[in-house]
Structure 1
Amino acid sequence: MQRSVAIAYVLWFFLGYLGIHRIYCGRVGSGVTMLILSVLGTLTVGVGIGRFLLFIVGVWWLIDLFLTAGMAMSYRK
């Protein structure tokens, strides 16, 4: 069963930093990792390491621009 590519991209655009689009596409492990990095980055942004974590998530989010369609189409329950 495939997931909707349009919904996956809407989730990527609005909630991509939280990894929700990855969870929707069945990539739960990497989605939760993205969520944890975002939360830890936000909580530690004042310390300095948070900027690095958010930078990693931002690059990951941009790469997912090209990967989300394939993830949604290859979803298997």
Structure 2
Amino acid sequence: MGRSVALAYVLWFFLGYLGIHRMYCGRVGSGVVMLALTVIGGLTFPIVVGHLLLFIVGVWWLVDLFLTAGMAER
């Protein structure tokens, strides 16, 4: 049985940068990577490396707009 697509998108919208929507959809590994990139990016933001990490997470978050429905239905 699949998970709720609506809930997956709510999690994506509000907690997407933390990878919570991926964890909800059963993609725990990539969700933890997303969470780690966000935390490390936030901590290293003043030394420019954080900008790159947060940019990567932002692009990943936007790509997940199109992938979340498929992940939730599996």
TM-score in terms of structure 2 length: 0.99
- Code of the aligned partner of 1:36: A
Taking the aligned partners of 1:19 and 1:38, their CA distance within structure 2 comes to 9
- Code of the aligned partner of 1:18: L
Taking the aligned partners of 2:42 and 2:14, their CA distance within structure 1 comes to 17
**How many pairs align?**
74
Which runs of at least 4 in structure 1 moved beyond 4 Å after TM superposition?
A: none
RMSD across aligned positions (CA): 0.3
The corresponding residue for 2:33 is 33
Gaps of 5+ in 1: none
How far is the alpha carbon of 1:55 from its aligned partner?
0.1
The corresponding residue for 1:22 is 22
The corresponding residue for 1:68 is 68
User: Structure 1, residues 9-40: CA drift from partner, whole Å, max 9, x if none?
Assistant: 00000000000000000000000000000000
Taking the aligned partners of 1:3 and 1:34, their CA distance within structure 2 comes to 20
Work out the percentage of aligned pairs sharing the same amino acid.
Answer: 76
User: Structure 1, residues 14-70: CA drift from partner, whole Å, max 9, x if none?
Assistant: 000000000000000000000000000000000000000000000000000000000
